Structure 1
């Protein structure tokens, strides 16, 4: 994995698990085949900072570049997921992480890639939400694939209440992910939603007891990690690729994406393992 000029140097953690350097506001570690990215600015309820955005983008790139990583879990530290943009910074008081300003100059699109607006990781991304996941937090959430929330988690797009626009993609994505009437209610009222409401409208898939969202997300990741990685990545790509196609075009695209998977050694290994009643050993081949 080439992480030149980035903060994702691999090292071994004390317990023998691989981990990676992040930034002061983004913690990164490996647990088996899962990369865990933790928004780590709990004193500000993990409000977005430049350091956090740089760390996030580097994490997405690291996951895509390392074939040993089969899934990514995104979570937050200190009982919060993400409270969105740092409004003090927006008011002109400076965004935390100014030392990373050169990265943003070199790639003016970096913050949108970090927030999954202009970048889609090829590995499945599971969100583990505790506490507030609002404004930019809810916008990042829409770029994830599977979503687990603690019972006391809260969601919402508060931008209109501040005279702002949810420019992280919500006016486009939200209506494609939940019914339009719910999307417009969330966007136009700027009100807060409970985890149960978020589940009921389809914004999250599971609600679990407080403090267990990460464990649940890691359990889901383990199930994904046990599957054929080439198949998993092809399925994810097909779902997004065909989302806005006609049924006929989508089915044709599915065949083009899916047939090559059957020709892989991994597909043969899956059939062999089933016949031999043993776990498969996939080699991405």
Structure 2
């Protein structure tokens, strides 16, 4: 199991938990964090025993975004990982889910700060749980910067455009309740319980047929920009093969026999 000094990887049953682990800097992005995160996404997809991913942060924060001190020229932690970026100049965007989409469902468990790059990475996740005191926002314009992690493209597709533009252009913070009201997150829970709730959702996903789950996720994303007729045709192409799998037969058999199904990804 992988990980770095700023990214921990743990197993919780069939769920891989990736934790940003730089709490002294509110989990601001670092080279070891980005390298570990990208390796974690790859590990999850390569291991068929992993059925879901929970993405969270240590120390009461999710991620406060880019390390502005490093950007100002004070150096970024983990320079020994620089060769990984040289070998793959796109690695940081893949780590941040801008240029990579895991085939397994990704559930975000957010406590504390989830701002700037944190809110940008959040948009690459599938299901989102936030603690009551979590803070969201795209602060880049306040620093004269551009939210280049994908937000000008993704955010207006995920929430109403008027809310997306307000978040992008004001750079103001949003509470968890505000984030839920505009559809950025799906659940608001008591502080300190976001991870537990995310793991509960993950377990519900894990109990379903993995081939079906992955096909459903793929269909949702690949048809998002299609016309309805093209999307429906693509859905048949993606969905019909699922019905011919051994897992589909097992699901029907288990229902008839009134027992939990045993799926084998076959």
If the length of structure 2 is used for normalisation, what is the TM-score? 1.00
Alignment partner, residue 191 of structure 1: 172
Alignment partner, residue 99 of structure 1: 80
Matches within 5 A, 1:208-227: 208-227=189-208
Matches within 5 A, 1:30-69: 30-69=11-50
Alignment partner, residue 87 of structure 1: 68
Alignment partner, residue 216 of structure 2: 235
Q: Could you tell me how far 1:97 is from its partner in structure 2?
A: 1.1
Q: Determine helix, strand or coil for the equivalent of 2:60.
A: coil
Distance 2:59 2:88 in 1: 30
Q: Could you tell me how far 1:95 is from its partner in structure 2?
A: 1.0
Q: Could you tell me how far 1:152 is from its partner in structure 2?
A: 0.2
Alignment partner, residue 5 of structure 2: 24
Structure 1 runs of 4+ aligned residues shifted over 6 Å read none
1:217-243 deviation per Cα after TM superposition (whole angstroms, max 9, x unaligned): 000000000000000000000000000
Alignment partner, residue 243 of structure 2: 262
**Unpaired segments of 5 or more residues in structure 2?**
none
2:2–2:40 CA contact under 8 A, matched in 1: no
Alignment partner, residue 93 of structure 2: 112
- 1:142 aligns to 2:130 (yes or no): no
Q: Could you tell me how far 1:249 is from its partner in structure 2?
A: 0.2
1:252 to 233, 239, 255: 233
Distance 2:91 2:75 in 1: 18
Distance 2:35 2:200 in 1: 27
Distance 2:146 2:97 in 1: 17
**Unpaired segments of 5 or more residues in structure 1?**
1-19
2:256 to 255, 268, 275: 275
Q: Could you tell me how far 1:21 is from its partner in structure 2?
A: 3.4
Q: Could you tell me how far 1:92 is from its partner in structure 2?
A: 1.2
1:163-197 deviation per Cα after TM superposition (whole angstroms, max 9, x unaligned): 00000000000000000000000000000000000
Distance 1:142 1:21 in 2: 24
Q: How many residues matched?
A: 266
Distance 2:123 2:197 in 1: 19
Q: RMSD value over aligned CA atoms? A: 0.4
